[in-house]
């Protein structure tokens, strides 16, 4: 017993020493504040806002069931009016409404691809300003696509337009890539990638949407931060179906289809079947943000060697976005059952959207949820399933270049690697490019994050000059 007591004392002493070290490390960590704010909007900013407004006013809603290349060719006419030099000086390729421009540089050693999509999601509900009004009011441009992502399409087209007006010739080949099927994970971007592959082009760096200058990226950390996306989770749409013999609702048997579906949903919501893990890329994000955090978060983020298990428990409660970076997620989004209140359905179903984390990829995650659903007598069907993307090396030349350009363009803006919980066209470029970075150089405050795919989508006028300058600087770099 004496030896057990000594062992417990030694363990307690070791724990106390570890805690003291962690506290000292947190106390010694310099406290930093993100002070970056986009400059006030002037004549230049409002000139860009007028161009973006014109682009928003042209409805480019995409629909998987009814692809309409002609709609996007009309949008191309708007782009040509706004950016005449791009259309005059660059080699244009159009494939079913998807655009690819080639700007020949002095060298083809390290081609650069700037990309963002033309299409937008449907605009439903009642808006304060019409979803395709392009109204400019109170320092905001209103309308579907302002933030996702006609803002970045405008910015890199304008960047090239201004450089062409200066007579600038890029050191490396530059490509402008813009699909019209991104919002439904269509075949637009794969067609553009196939065209570059046919030409033998291997981009050194691809920069797409995804991350951005995000305000308050995690609960407790305040200010603007350049969150640079380095990989994105995989995804699938999943349908769970329960069957029965039906019957009249006046005499319900046990285990009706909707009851089984409800029990399954409750089980998944209350106790996720997916493992949490702190990937090195996610750990790098927390370490980059730690100096800007309050003390308790500094203690956690700055001492992952000690608090990793605690962080895995606490993080989903701190931030749903951060929690989604730890594991595969599933969100139940659709339901269908009987057509009458008094009829037990012979078949009922729920739909869900899954996002796969690399440590439990598409195959493993789908198998886990399929096996769990089977315990409730449910069948499972998966649609549009894709694996997580490859991670870009944050110590590699491409990522470091983007870091330098952000620092030059937005002085004082803190930077951090970022894990995309959504999906973009960028993943298609991984077939031909090593460095694929997801960063839209505009400010996404709480209103912009809420409006994306929702009501009252906006973007701030004053962040547009910085976006244009970012792409100009990247081309020059």
73: its two tokens? 């060719």
- Please state, rounded to an integer, the average pLDDT across all residues of the chain: 93
pLDDT for 43: 97
Q: What is the mean pLDDT of residues 174-195?
A: 95
Share of the chain above pLDDT 90, in %: 78
- SS3 of residue 35 by DSSP: coil
Which has the closest alpha carbon to 345: 289, 402, 261? 261
Peptide bond into 149 cis (omega under 30): yes
pLDDT for 21: 87
Residue bearing tokens 């449910």: 378
Q: What is the mean pLDDT of residues 162-174?
A: 98
Q: Alpha-carbon distance 170 to 162, whole Å?
A: 13
| Residue 91 burial (C-beta neighbours within 10 Å; 0-12, 13-18, 19+) | exposed
pLDDT level of residue 293 (50, 70, 90 thresholds): very high
How many CA atoms lie less than 13 Å away from 425 in the CB half-sphere?
30
pLDDT for 156: 98
Tell me the domains of the chain and their CATH numbers.
43-232+389-476 (3.40.630.10), 234-386 (3.30.70.360)
Using the Cα atoms of residue 470, residue 474, residue 475 and residue 477 in order, give the sign of their dihedral: positive
Residues 6+ apart with CB under 8 A from 214: 224, 225, 227, 444, 449
Query: 343 versus 1: which is more confidently predicted?
Result: 343
Q: What is the mean pLDDT of residues 89-115?
A: 97
Burial 432-467 (b: 16+ CB within 10 A, else e): bbbbbbbbbbbbbbebbbebbeeebbbbbbbbbbbb
* Region of poorest pLDDT, from 14-18, 237-241, 409-413: 14-18
pLDDT level of residue 7 (50, 70, 90 thresholds): confident
Cα distances (angstroms) measured from residue 445 to each of 225, 288, 457, 459: 11, 20, 11, 9
Cα distances (angstroms) measured from residue 124 to each of 39, 75, 144, 472: 33, 21, 10, 35
Over the stretch 341-361, which tens digit does the pLDDT of each residue have?
A: 999 999 999 999 999 999 999
pLDDT at 16 over 90: no
pLDDT for 6: 67
pLDDT at 431 over 60: yes
pTM of the model: 0.91
pLDDT for 161: 98
Residue bearing tokens 């990247």: 474
254 DSSP 8-state letter: S
Q: What is the mean pLDDT of residues 183-190?
A: 92
pLDDT at 86 over 90: yes
377, 253 contact by CB (below 8 A): no
| Residue 148 burial (C-beta neighbours within 10 Å; 0-12, 13-18, 19+) | buried
- Give the gyration radius of the chain's Cα atoms: 25
Task: Put residue 336 in one of left, alpha, beta given phi > 0 → left and psi -120 to 50 → alpha.
Answer: beta
Strand 172-178 relative to strand 98-103: parallel, antiparallel, unpaired?
Answer: antiparallel
pLDDT at 11 over 80: no
């Amino acid at each position: 017993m004496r030896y057990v007591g000594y062992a417990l004392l030694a363990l307690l002493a070791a724990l106390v020493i570890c805690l003291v070290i962690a506290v000292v490390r947190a106390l010694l960590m310099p406290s930093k504040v993100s002070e970056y704010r986009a400059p006030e909007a002037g004549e230049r900013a409002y000139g860009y806002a007028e161009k973006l407004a014109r682009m928003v006013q042209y409805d480019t809603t995409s629909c998987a069931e009814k692809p309409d290349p002609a709609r996007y060719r009309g949008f191309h006419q708007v782009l040509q009016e706004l950016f005449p030099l791009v259309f005059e000086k660059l080699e244009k390729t159009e494939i079913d409404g998807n655009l690819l421009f080639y700007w020949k540089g002095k060298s083809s050693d390290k081609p650069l691809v700037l990309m963002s999509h033309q299409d937008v999601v449907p605009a439903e509900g009642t808006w304060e300003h019409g979803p395709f009004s392009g109204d400019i009011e109170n320092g905001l441009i209103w309308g579907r696509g302002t933030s996702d992502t006609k803002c970045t399409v405008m910015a890199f087209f304008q960047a090239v337009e201004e450089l062409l007006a200066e007579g600038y010739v890029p050191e490396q080949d530059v490509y402008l890539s813009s699909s019209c099927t991104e919002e439904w994970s269509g075949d637009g971007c794969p067609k553009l990638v196939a065209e570059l592959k046919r030409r033998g082009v291997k981009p050194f760096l691809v920069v797409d949407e995804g991350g951005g200058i995000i305000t308050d990226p995690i609960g407790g950390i305040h200010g603007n931060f350049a969150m640079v996306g380095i990989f994105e989770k995989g995804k699938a749409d999943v349908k769970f179906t329960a069957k029965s013999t039906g019957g009249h609702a006046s005499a319900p048997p046990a285990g009706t289809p909707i009851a089984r579906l409800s029990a399954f949903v409750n089980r998944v919501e209350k106790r996720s079947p997916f493992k949490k893990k702190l990937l090195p890329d996610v750990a790098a994000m927390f370490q980059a943000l730690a100096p800007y955090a309050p003390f308790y978060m500094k203690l956690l983020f700055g001492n992952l060697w000690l608090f990793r298990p605690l962080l895995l428990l606490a993080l989903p409660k701190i931030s749903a976005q951060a929690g989604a970076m730890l594991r595969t997620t599933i969100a139940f989004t659709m339901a269908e059952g009987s057509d009458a209140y008094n009829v037990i359905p012979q078949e009922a179903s729920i739909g869900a959207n899954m996002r796969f984390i690399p440590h439990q990829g598409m195959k493993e995650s789908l198998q886990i949820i399929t096996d769990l659903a089977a315990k409730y007598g449910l069948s499972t069907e998966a649609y549009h399933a894709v694996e997580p993307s490859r991670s870009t090396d944050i110590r590699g030349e491409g990522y470091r270049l983007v870091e330098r350009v952000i620092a030059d363009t937005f002085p004082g803006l803190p930077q951090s690697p970022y894990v995309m919980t959504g999906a973009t066209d960028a993943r298609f470029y991984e077939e031909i490019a090593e460095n694929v970075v997801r960063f839209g150089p505009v400010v996404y405050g709480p209103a912009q994050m809420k409006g994306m795919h929702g009501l009252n989508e906006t973007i701030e006028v004053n962040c547009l000059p910085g976006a244009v300058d970012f792409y100009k600087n990247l081309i020059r770099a």
